[in-house]
């Protein structure tokens, strides 16, 4: 048949080694992590620790949301703080104008924060997504600062640099952080489920195609503008929710902390370190880096040494695992499996094909002596490489 | 009977006239070869037909239907698939995912479902089998050799069963045995009724494969006909060798 002839086209197909760990491992790890995250504040109820937990959840939601757009489509946004800020102001303004009391009720505003951001992101995305990926990065930064300026100057709405004060919950002591933590965890799970869904869907495949080659994707029937815009709005939604959680937690909203350029960089760095475009990358990045950063801050905050420690860590990860932690580890793991599969193949091959005539060495296992010449005669390059 | 007809197409880039009132028609269910010296406007014509460039004026029609300046995704939906001069695949996706990209579904609900339905998967394996890449389906496409990537691009073009396939230099940088394989695949699809339009510089490949050859020169149609006739046409030789009537430069 014609299909067999093509073996001559390129190298023979190797035994396939999966790129991802087996499903049982992935699902098991997810479930285990979830249990750990649920148990964490119960095991460490100290407010200093749990407030690190709340910040971690806020960044986790934002990182997962950001990755749905920037990770999957390849359009890096360094301006999602626009939605972080809009989310904060949405929750604060509704709470203040509707005279809501602090406490559980404010969490009901999180979907509103997300929706306002998603709606705001559509006209913005429509304008921004007309440009190429590099230009896009610059424009996103500009948009974020436009919103910051608006927040400073629309004083009748935002109270400018005076900021807004949120109604404060009556929770006290060790309990104060708990509602924020668990609601944050719930939002992160929802964001994670959304990312997982996108990753599996036909729609998501279109996003990945856009990341790899947008023009090629267009020529295969993908509606690129619509596809990018939906992901952009979805990521704005989750970043808005993160903002909506942050505002009542710290109790106030200011332009420079809402529309915060360091938030933009932090989220991008988290995802890059964890592994951009993967499902677990943002999770790992946020769970590792945010607690570390907060810990460094608490320990060495006075001398700003924490920034140096943080920088060193960042450089180390980039040097050792340039694609991020998740791709770095899975590739290394896969590399071992591939080497093993190749060794197996090589061991099997002399028996089956090439050296049929020479006989005895086919049965002898490695290390007994005479076979040393056999396989290397047959495939010099491959044999040597394996030995190294 | 013509499948794609272009009428008086014009396209300029600054002072360069890439298409200067180009009119030609491509025969249905045939293998059409499109040749011409470098810069004669072949790729620009491809880009205009497939919506990657907008024409300044003129018309493109597919079986009588006007598709002038339709966007690339619409052109694909109309049943026209194309490859690029430089092979373009999705390097970070697996071979199988690459093929699935070309199986788009209308409607948001359908888009939200899993990326490989059973029917799509069967079709995907069928087209991979067809070009001989089925065994590499789970591998990352960027790891494939150049030739294999060319076959992959060819495979995903056929995924949605287009009625017309435009190939931009399918023989470029391809070894003879792979070229034979590609020619065979083109013939096989053509016998099922798929029309091909092939831009190619490898004359032997064109003359052997094509039923109908069209020649472009300086942005417009020079001549067309069966391969033997075009090969013997003195105007074609002139266009390639520049021995034609003086243009004053």
Between CA A314 and CA A56 the distance in angstroms is 17
Per-residue pLDDT averaged across B169-192, rounded? Answer: 92
Provide the edge-to-edge strand list for the sheet that holds B65-66: B16-27, B2-13, B57-62, B65-66
- A216: distance to nearest CA of chain B, Å? 7
Number of domains in chain A: 1
Q: Is residue A70 part of a domain?
A: yes
Residues A235-255: tens digit of each pLDDT: 999 999 999 999 999 999 999
Nearest to B4 by CA among B212, B218, B195, B167: B195
Q: Is residue A2 part of a domain?
A: no
Confidence at residue A106, expressed as pLDDT on a 0 to 100 scale: 94
3-state SS, residue B39: coil
Distance from CA of residue A146 to its chain's centroid? 26
Confidence check: pLDDT of A382 > 70: no
Q: Is residue A248 part of a domain?
A: yes
Q: Is residue A121 part of a domain?
A: yes
Give me the half-sphere count of Cα atoms (radius 13 Å) on the Cβ side of residue B13: 7
Is there a contact between B33 and B200 (Cβ–Cβ < 8 Å)?
yes
Nearest to A257 by CA among A161, A168, A153: A161
ipTM here = 0.91
A224, closest residue in chain B (CA to CA): B73
- B21: distance to nearest CA of chain A, Å? 25
Are A218 and B73 within 8 A, CB to CB? yes
Residues A1-23: tens digit of each pLDDT: 344 344 444 445 567 888 888 89
Strands A164-165 and A252-253: antiparallel
Per-residue pLDDT averaged across B57-77, rounded? Answer: 94
Confidence check: pLDDT of A374 > 50: no
Are B73 and A221 within 8 A, CB to CB? yes
Q: Is residue A124 part of a domain?
A: yes
Q: Is residue A261 part of a domain?
A: yes
Q: A174: domain range?
A: 39-287
Chain-wide mean pLDDT for chain B? 91
What does the block give as tokens for A42?
């119960």
Q: Closest CB to A202: pick one of B94, B115, B151.
A: B115
Residues A137-170: tens digit of each pLDDT: 999 999 999 999 999 999 999 999 999 999 988 8
Per-residue pLDDT averaged across B173-192, rounded? Answer: 92
Is there a contact between B6 and B159 (Cβ–Cβ < 8 Å)?
no
3-state SS, residue B2: strand
Residues, chain B, total? 249
- Which secondary structure element, helix H or strand E, spans residue B6, and what is its range? strand B2-13
Residues B83-134: tens digit of each pLDDT: 998 999 999 999 999 999 999 888 888 998 999 899 999 999 999 999 999 9
Q: Is residue A138 part of a domain?
A: yes
Q: How far, CA to CA in Å, does A110 sit from each of A41, A188, A244, A247, A289?
A: 22, 12, 6, 11, 25
Are A219 and B134 within 8 A, CB to CB? no
CATH number at residue A127: 1.10.3470
Buried-exposed string B32-41: b where 16+ CB fall within 10 A, e elsewhere: bbbbbbeebb
Q: Is residue A296 part of a domain?
A: no
């Amino acid at each position: 048949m014609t299909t067999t002839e093509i073996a001559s086209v390129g190298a023979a197909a190797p035994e396939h080694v999966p790129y991802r760990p087996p499903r049982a491992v992935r699902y098991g790890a997810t479930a285990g992590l979830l249990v750990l995250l649920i148990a964490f504040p119960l095991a460490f109820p100290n407010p200093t620790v749990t407030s690190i937990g709340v910040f971690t959840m806020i960044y986790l939601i934002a990182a997962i949301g950001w990755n749905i757009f920037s990770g999957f489509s390849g359009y890096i946004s360094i301006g999602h703080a626009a939605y972080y800020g809009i989310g904060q102001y949405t929750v604060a303004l509704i709470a203040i104008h509707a005279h809501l009391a602090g406490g559980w009720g404010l969490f009901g505003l999180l979907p509103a924060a997300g929706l306002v951001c998603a709606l705001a992101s559509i006209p913005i995305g429509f304008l921004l997504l007309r440009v190429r990926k590099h230009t896009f990065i610059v424009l996103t930064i500009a948009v974020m600062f436009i919103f910051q300026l608006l927040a400073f100057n629309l004083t009748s709405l935002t109270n400018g640099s005076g900021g807004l004060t949120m109604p404060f919950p009556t929770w006290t002591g060790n309990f104060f952080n708990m509602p924020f933590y668990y609601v944050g965890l719930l939002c992160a799970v929802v964001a994670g489920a959304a990312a997982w869904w996108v990753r599996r869907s036909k729609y998501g495949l279109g996003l990945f195609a856009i990341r790899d080659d947008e023009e090629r994707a267009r020529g295969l029937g993908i509606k690129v503008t619509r596809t990018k815009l939906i992901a952009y709005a979805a990521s704005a939604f989750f970043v808005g929710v993160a903002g909506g959680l942050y505002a009542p937690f710290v109790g106030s909203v200011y332009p420079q902390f809402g529309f915060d350029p360091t938030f933009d960089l932090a989220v991008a760095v988290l995802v890059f370190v964890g592994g951009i475009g993967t499902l677990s990358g943002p999770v790992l990045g946020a769970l590792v880096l945010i607690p570390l950063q907060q810990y460094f801050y608490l320990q060495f905050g006075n001398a700003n040494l924490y920034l140096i420690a943080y920088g060193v860590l960042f450089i180390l990860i980039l040097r050792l695992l340039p694609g991020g932690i998740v791709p770095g580890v899975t590739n290394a793991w896969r590399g071992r499996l591939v080497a093993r599969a190749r060794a197996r193949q090589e061991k099997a091959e002399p028996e089956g094909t090439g050296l049929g005539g020479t006989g005895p060495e086919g049965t002898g296992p490695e290390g007994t002596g005479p076979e040393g010449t056999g396989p290397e005669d047959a495939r010099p390059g491959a044999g040597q490489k394996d030995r190294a | 009977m013509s499948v794609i007809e272009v009428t008086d197409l014009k396209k300029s880039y600054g002072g360069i006239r890439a298409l200067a009132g180009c009119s030609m028609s491509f025969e249905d269910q045939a293998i059409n070869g499109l040749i011409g010296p470098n810069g004669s406007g072949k790729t620009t014509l491809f880009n205009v037909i497939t919506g990657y460039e907008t024409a300044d004026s003129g018309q493109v029609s597919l079986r009588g239907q006007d598709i002038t300046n339709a966007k690339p995704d619409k052109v694909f939906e109309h049943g026209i698939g194309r490859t690029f001069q430089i092979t373009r695949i999705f390097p970070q996706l697996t071979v199988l995912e690459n093929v699935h990209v070309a199986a788009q579904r209308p409607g948001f609900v359908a888009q939200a479902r899993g990326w490989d339905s059973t029917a799509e998967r069967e079709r995907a394996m069928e087209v991979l089998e067809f070009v001989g890449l089925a065994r590499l389906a789970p591998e990352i496409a960027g790891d494939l050799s150049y030739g294999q990537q060319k076959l992959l691009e060819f495979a995903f073009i056929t995924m949605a069963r287009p009625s017309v396939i435009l190939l931009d230099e399918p023989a470029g940088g391809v070894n003879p045995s792979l070229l034979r394989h590609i020619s065979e695949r083109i013939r096989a699809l053509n016998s099922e009724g798929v029309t091909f339009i092939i831009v190619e510089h490898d004359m032997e490949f064109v003359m052997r494969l094509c039923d109908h050859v069209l020649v472009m020169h300086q942005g417009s149609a020079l001549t067309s006909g069966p391969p033997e006739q075009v090969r013997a046409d003195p105007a074609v030789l002139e266009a390639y060798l520049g021995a034609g009537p003086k243009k004053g430069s």
